[in-house]
Structure 1
C-alpha cells in the first residue's frame, strides 16, 4: 500500500508543488493521475520512489516511512519500484537485451560490473521480461532500429525484470501515435491484472486514462480535487480538474495525435 499523509512539497523557488496530499493506493490498483501541465502530477508520482523529497508529512510505502530511508536502504527500496519515462531512457547504440540487463547492475559483483558479464539467471529473467511484452524476437536488435512503441516496451521489460511491486509511469505514451499508444497501454493493463502490480500513471491523454485506469486522481494547483472510480468521472468533474479547460485540453491532444 502507498499512503500519503498530509504531504507537502515546496521547491527551492518557493513553488508549492504539492499541498496537503492525503491519499491511499492499494496493491494492484491501476491509477491515472490527470490535470493540467504544472499541476503537480509528476511531482506526486516521483515522490513515491524518492526521486523528489517531500517537504513535510509522511509517505508510507509497503509499511516503510520513505523519508526515513538512508543510503543502501533507499537503493533496496527503489528495486521494488519500476519507473517508466516518456523519453524511454535507453542506450540506443546497443541491443535490446543489454538494455534490459542494465536493471541487474546493482546486483553484480565489482568484477562483473567492470566486465559487463551477467549470470545466466539474469539473462533468463531479461528474456522472460521481453517475452512478457511481446518483443522477445527483438532481443539482439539494436535499440535505435526499433520504433518508438517498441522502445517503450523495452523500457517496460527492463522494469519488469526487477520484479517490481509498483510501476510508476510518467507520461509513457506522450510521444507515441494512437495505434502504438493502445499497444503500450494494453501491456500496462495486462501486467497490472495478471501480475497484480500497482500502476500509477501520470497521463495527459484524458480519454485513454478513462479507458484503462480503474481509478482517477485529479490534481489541480498541487492539490487533489478528485479521487474516485473511473466510472464516476463526469464532464463537470473534468471541467473542475482542468478549470473549465477540458475542451481545450482534448483539442490539443487531438491535434498532437493528428500531427504524429
Structure 2
C-alpha cells in the first residue's frame, strides 16, 4: 500500500509542486496519473521512491515512512520499487542481456560489479524477464539496434529482474508512436494482472490512461482534482483536470 497523507512538495525556488495530497493506492492496482505538463505528475511519482523528498505531510509504503529511510535502508527500499523512464536509460553500446543484468549490480560484491561477473541464476532471471516482455530473441543484440518500443521493453525487463512490488513509470510511452505505445501498455497491463505488481504511471495520452488503467488520478496545479475508476471519467472530470485545455494524445 502507498499512502499519501497531506503531502506537499516545495522546491528551493519556492515553487509548490504538490499541495495537500491525500491518496491511497492498494497493492495490485493499475493507476494512471493525468494532467497538464507541470501539474505535478512526475513529482508525485518520484516522491514514492525518494527521488524527490516531500516537504510536508507523511508518505508511507507498506506502513514504512519513506522519510525515515537513509543509507542502506533506503537502498534496500528502492530495490522493491522499479522505475521506468521516458528515455529508457539503457547502456546502448552493450547487449540487451547485459542491460537487464545491471538490475543485480547494487546487490553484488564490488569486485563482481567491476568485472561484470554474474551467476547462472542471475542470467536465468534476466532471460526470464526478457521472455515476459516478449523480446527474449533480442537478448544478444546491442541495445542501440532496437526500436524505441523494444528499448522500453528492455527497461521494463530490467525492472522485472529486480522482482519489484511496485513499478513507477514516468511518461513511459511519450516518445513512442501510437502503435508501439499500445504494445508497451499491453506489457504493463499483463505484468499488473499476471504478477500482481502495482503499476503507477503518469501519462499524457488520456485515451491510453482510460483504456488500460483501472483507476485515474487527475492533478491540476499540484492538487488532486479527480480520483476514481477509469470507466467513470467524463467530460466534466476532464474539464476539472485540464481546465478546458486537454492535451491532445500524440
Q: If the TM-score is normalised by the length of the shorter chain, which range does it land in?
A: over 0.9
**1:1-260 aligned within 5 A:** 1-246=1-246, 249-250=247-248, 253=249, 257=250
Q: Which runs of 5+ in 2 are unaligned?
A: none
Distance (whole Å) between structure 2 residues aligned to residue 179 and residue 113 of structure 1? 37
**C-alpha RMSD of the superposition:** 0.6
Instruction: Tell me by how many angstroms 1:232 deviates.
Output: 1.2
Distance (whole Å) between structure 2 residues aligned to residue 230 and residue 173 of structure 1? 19
Instruction: Tell me by how many angstroms 1:113 deviates.
Output: 1.4
Distance (whole Å) between structure 2 residues aligned to residue 110 and residue 235 of structure 1? 54
Distance (whole Å) between structure 1 residues aligned to residue 182 and residue 218 of structure 2? 22
SS of residue paired to 1:7:
strand
SS of residue paired to 1:164:
coil
| Aligned residues between the structures | 250
Distance (whole Å) between structure 2 residues aligned to residue 227 and residue 104 of structure 1? 36
Instruction: Tell me by how many angstroms 1:192 deviates.
Output: 0.2
Deviating above 3 A after TM superposition, structure 1's stretches of 4 or more consecutive aligned residues are: none
Q: Which runs of 5+ in 1 are unaligned?
A: none
Instruction: Tell me by how many angstroms 1:111 deviates.
Output: 1.5
Instruction: Tell me by how many angstroms 1:231 deviates.
Output: 1.3
Distance (whole Å) between structure 1 residues aligned to residue 183 and residue 3 of structure 2? 30
Instruction: Encode CA deviations 1:19-70: one digit per residue, 9 max, x unaligned.
Output: 0101000000000000000000000010000000000111000110000001
SS of residue paired to 1:186:
helix
Instruction: Encode CA deviations 1:44-97: one digit per residue, 9 max, x unaligned.
Output: 010000000000111000110000001000000000000000000000000000
Distance (whole Å) between structure 1 residues aligned to residue 114 and residue 223 of structure 2? 46
Distance (whole Å) between structure 2 residues aligned to residue 107 and residue 18 of structure 1? 33
Distance (whole Å) between structure 1 residues aligned to residue 93 and residue 113 of structure 2? 19
Distance (whole Å) between structure 2 residues aligned to residue 149 and residue 18 of structure 1? 31
Distance (whole Å) between structure 2 residues aligned to residue 212 and residue 36 of structure 1? 19
SS of residue paired to 1:204:
coil
